[in-house]
């Protein structure tokens, strides 16, 4: 038995692979293109671990995916691979359409061909779990109820539109072909190994470097925040017990305005690593807003709790403290990301610039 994970060198996928192998011995085949967001240094503790087989490659490469499915015969595909940053999607949407839409299509077709040819017992247990986002539902007003699974899709950014398209493909492959799919729509994650282009890690690393803390617009946009390992636990739970064809919203019950997040991070840093120049809040700068910036996301996570018994283990207070502590304890990981040295990791580690490595 094995599972195929796509995007397992990214933030959530990396945490998922580490947690999966910490909790059991079922091998992981990890297919990741290693874009700027993929970082094998995150998985350095798995070096030499035969349970982790890393393959550098593109989910759009149908022949490669077919070969991996035939060779490893995974019982499930957990699909994280995506372009994930909203601001990048505004500057250049093309790669989002290619990976998130075409890539998911290509993966679904490969999964369908593989699954169709399985013996009946393996067909019955095979799963395709698609990891998606709450952003597909659009933006909420201040008094609107949180997003339930029945909320209409109203994506507003190129990123969320591409994820919405991928969700629709996954749904259609179940409805039309019977492919046993599961979809999770999760809120904003935070935690270790988060690339410092996203709000929380950017604020931590900029503050420590004495750089400005850019807050878009009035800072009152609201997100729901979930500690990444709670998200990983939710995915394992849906994979094990979820009903095929269903979607499950995953969230932390932590609605917080961006400016409040920035203050919380600053005060934690003031306590854990005070600056000689004074409180970190001095670095906060309000900057031009993100075009089309969604005002509020909130997740109604009652279905996954009611049906599958999942609830987040971390409060925001405990999760954000662990996160800040992790960044303070891992300056080397941050420095390699900032210098770009992490991109040389495959070469340094394996003596080759790219390609399949075990
Ligand atoms: P990330 O950007 O940190 O990682 C994405 C990974 O996918 C990288 O390792 C990258 O190299 C890989 N990748 C990109 N294009 C690829 C391709 N064509 N073929 C193979 N690999 C490719 O993203 P993340 O934050 O870890 O998000 C993972 C998934 O979870 C995404 O699907 C995202 O939409 C979803 N999601 C993220 C959040 C969040 O808060 N970060 C919340 C909900 C859902
Ligand atoms: O909701 C889930 C989504 O959360 C995921 O699907 C995405 O992959 C993930 O990137 C994240 O999207 P956001 O756009 O919400 O995350 P980001 O960290 O980019 O921004 C969080 C909020 O902070 C958002 O309202 C924009 C704001 N922001 C962001 C940055 C990077 C700032 O004010 N300043 C910044 O410098």
Atom number, ligand 1, closest to the C-alpha of residue 36: 11
Which residues does 169 contact at the CB level (< 8 Å), separation at least 6? 101, 104, 105, 108
25 included as an active-site residue: no
Substitution site in 199, 230, 250, 286 for ligand 2 pocket (most atoms within 8 Å of beta carbon) = 199
Residue nearest to atom 4 of ligand 1 (CA): 10
What pLDDT tens digit does each residue of the chain (358 aa) get?
999 999 999 999 999 999 999 999 999 999 999 999 999 999 999 999 999 999 999 999 999 999 999 999 999 999 999 999 999 999 999 999 999 999 999 999 999 999 999 999 999 999 999 999 999 999 999 999 999 999 999 999 999 999 999 999 999 999 999 999 999 999 999 999 999 999 999 999 999 999 999 999 999 999 999 999 999 999 999 999 999 999 999 999 999 999 999 999 999 999 999 999 999 999 999 999 999 999 999 999 999 999 999 999 999 999 999 999 999 999 999 999 988 888 776 566 555 443 333 3
Q: Which of 205, 199, 300 is nearest to 258 (CA)?
A: 199
Q: From ligand 1's centre to the CA of 259, what distance in Å?
A: 25
Atom number, ligand 1, closest to the C-alpha of residue 81: 7
327 included as an active-site residue: no
Substitution site in 59, 68, 80 for ligand 1 pocket (most atoms within 8 Å of beta carbon) = 80
Is the CA virtual torsion 184, 316, 42, 340 positive or negative?
positive
**CA atoms of 19 and 80, how far apart (whole Å):** 15
**CA atoms of 316 and 320, how far apart (whole Å):** 6
Q: Domain 3-256+296-345 adopts which CATH fold?
A: Rossmann fold (3.40.50)
Q: Which of 47, 54, 84 is nearest to 72 (CA)?
A: 54
Starting from the CA of residue 13, give the closest ligand. Answer: 1
Q: From ligand 2's centre to the CA of 52, what distance in Å?
A: 30
159 included as an active-site residue: yes
- Domain coordinates in residue numbering, the chain: 3-256+296-345
Residue nearest to atom 23 of ligand 2 (CA): 199
Atom number, ligand 1, closest to the C-alpha of residue 12: 26
**CA atoms of 355 and 8, how far apart (whole Å):** 15
CB of 133 sitting under 6 A from ligand 1? yes
CB of 7 sitting under 6 A from ligand 1? yes
Substitution site in 8, 10, 86 for ligand 1 pocket (most atoms within 8 Å of beta carbon) = 10
Neighbours of 317 (CB within 10 A): 11
């Amino acid at each position: 038995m094995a599972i195929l994970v796509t995007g397992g060198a990214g933030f959530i996928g990396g945490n998922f692979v580490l947690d999966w192998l910490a909790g059991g011995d079922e091998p992981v085949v990890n297919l990741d293109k290693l874009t700027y967001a993929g970082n094998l240094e995150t998985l350095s503790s798995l070096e030499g671990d035969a349970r982790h087989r890393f393959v550098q490659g593109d989910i759009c490469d149908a022949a490669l995916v077919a070969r991996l499915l035939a060779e490893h015969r995974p019982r499930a595909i957990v699909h994280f691979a995506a372009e994930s940053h909203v601001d990048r999607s505004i500057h250049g949407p093309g790669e989002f359409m290619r990976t998130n839409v075409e890539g998911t299509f290509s993966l679904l077709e490969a999964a369908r061909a593989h699954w169709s040819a399985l013996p009946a017992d393996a067909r019955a247990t095979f799963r395709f779990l698609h990891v998606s986002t709450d952003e597909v539902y659009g933006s909420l007003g201040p008094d609107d109820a949180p997003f339930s699974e029945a909320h209409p899709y109203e994506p507003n950014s190129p990123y969320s539109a591409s994820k919405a398209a991928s969700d629709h493909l996954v749904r259609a492959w179940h409805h039309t072909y019977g492919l046993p799919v599961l979809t999770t729509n999760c809120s904003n994650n935070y935690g270790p190994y988060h690339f410092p282009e996203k709000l929380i890690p950017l604020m931590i690393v900029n503050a420590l470097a004495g750089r400005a803390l850019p807050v878009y617009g009035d800072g009152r946009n609201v997100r729901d925040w979930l500690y990444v390992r709670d998200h990983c636990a939710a995915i394992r739970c849906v994979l094990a017990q979820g009903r095929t064809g269903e979607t499950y919203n995953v969230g932390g019950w932590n609605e917080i305005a961006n400016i409040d997040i920035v203050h919380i991070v600053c005060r934690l840093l003031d306590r854990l690593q005070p600056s000689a120049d004074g409180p970190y809040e001095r670095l906060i700068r309000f900057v031009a807003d993100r075009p089309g910036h969604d005002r509020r996301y909130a997740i109604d996570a009652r279905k996954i709790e009611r049906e599958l018994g999942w609830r987040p283990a971390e409060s925001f207070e405990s999760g954000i403290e662990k996160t800040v502590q992790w960044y303070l304890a891992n300056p080397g990981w941050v420095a390699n990301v900032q210098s770009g040295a992490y991109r040389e990791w495959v070469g340094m580690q394996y003596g080759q610039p790219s390609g399949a490595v075990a």
